[in-house]
Amino acid sequence: MEADSHFSKHVTLAAKGIAILLMLFHHLFYDAPGFVDQYAVSAVPLSWPALNSLSYYAKLCVSVFVFLTGYGMAIRMSSQDNRHRERYAVSRFLKLESSIVFLYLFSLLTAVLDPSRILAYFQEGHLKGIWMMLLDALGLGKFFDTVMFNNSWWYLSFAIFLIFLMPVALKLCEQFGICSVVLAGMVTTFGLDQSRAFSLYLFTFFLGIFLARASLISRIRAYCQSRRHAAALLALFAALFAACSFIRIRWGFYLWMNGLCSLFLVLMLFVLIDLLHLRLRLLELFGRYSMIMYMTHTLIYHHYFTRLVYAPKNWFFIFLWLSLLSLALAAALSLVRSLLHWDSLRLWHLADE
């Protein structure tokens, strides 16, 4: 693909940064109502219904990650034949596993603060406990519906599934174009449970693939010959994002709105960063550490340091505090990983040989 037919890495990192911050916000104030009550959290200047509604809306974070997965892998795979696509999927899987296993081992070390989290594996016997630990270490706990050290890791199983679904999904998009995206948005009409990740995010995944294959990005570049054109397009994407967000909050339609909100968010960032040349460096920083923050933030706010996280009382300062703590831990773990040359281990590069 031509370089100008897709957006830059800066857009991807900023989108990941927004997604991980949305995840922190969602978990702090929607997934943990007991903590909110116990630590007398203030919603000022918002009302509690508004804060609760916004924190539920923040689950859009999952859709953004799914969209970027479809988009990014489609760019890499589109110029490859079937054999190389399968090889790339395995390579992508091993790269993901390198992060999962490293962060799982770190999480096990933290169990000295609460050994009961290890003992939970062995309630049905030692052999089964070891088996469940192995599945959890590989990110497959949710897939096999076994005990997980961290319940927030459910997405790992889904992410692995998407990696191996990608060659098939890309082939469908190549054969049927926009029709495959529409059909992906209608999966629940075929009797699939809408509460499951597969049906809830399949449209978003296919929409990301379709954007990578369509000429929309290059057409936008061609249209934006001046800052005035870019500003007008930014306003359009912002209005569409706001409209889809309103529909998602007010009436649901999650299957479709998840994908459309993610699409228009990414297009807004594309115009801001690539066309108007506004670097969102802080968001990019969070995006760079988003994987580590995703796998470790629950250890901070839920497992071990809940009182510390909610100590500021006001929701905004709690959110800011957890964001900084998670970022600091992620940066430290990234440094340790680099010093150990973890990513250089041959195991993670078997598919490249």
Phi-psi region of 88 (alpha: psi -120 to 50; beta: other; left: phi over 0): alpha
Instruction: Quote the CA–CA distance of 329 and 324 in Å, as a whole number.
Output: 9
Q: What's the pLDDT score for residue 48?
A: 86
Which of 166, 144, 142 lies closest to 153 in space, CA to CA? 142
Confidence category of residue 38, pLDDT binned at 50, 70, 90: confident
pLDDT in tens, 233-244: 999 999 999 999
Instruction: Quote the CA–CA distance of 70 and 12 in Å, as a whole number.
Output: 12
Confidence category of residue 124, pLDDT binned at 50, 70, 90: confident
Give the rounded percent of residues in the chain with a pLDDT score beyond 90: 76
pLDDT in tens, 56-85: 999 999 999 999 999 999 999 988 888 899
Q: What's the pLDDT score for residue 97?
A: 97
- For residue 26, give both structure tokens: 């969602």
Kindly state the average pLDDT of the residues 139-146. 93
pLDDT in tens, 254-312: 889 999 999 999 999 999 999 999 999 999 999 999 999 999 999 999 999 999 999 99
- CA 330, 18, 206, 7 dihedral sign is negative
Confidence category of residue 197, pLDDT binned at 50, 70, 90: confident
Per-residue pLDDT for 353 more than 70? no
Q: What's the pLDDT score for residue 232?
A: 94
Per-residue pLDDT for 7 more than 80? yes
- From residue 86, alpha-carbon distances to 139, 155, 161, 166, 176 in Å are 20, 22, 13, 9, 20
Q: What's the pLDDT score for residue 318?
A: 96
Of the two residues 185 and 158, the one the predictor is more confident about is 158
CB contact at 8 A, 283 and 14: yes
Under DSSP, the state recorded for 276 is S
Q: What's the pLDDT score for residue 80?
A: 87
Q: What's the pLDDT score for residue 32?
A: 67
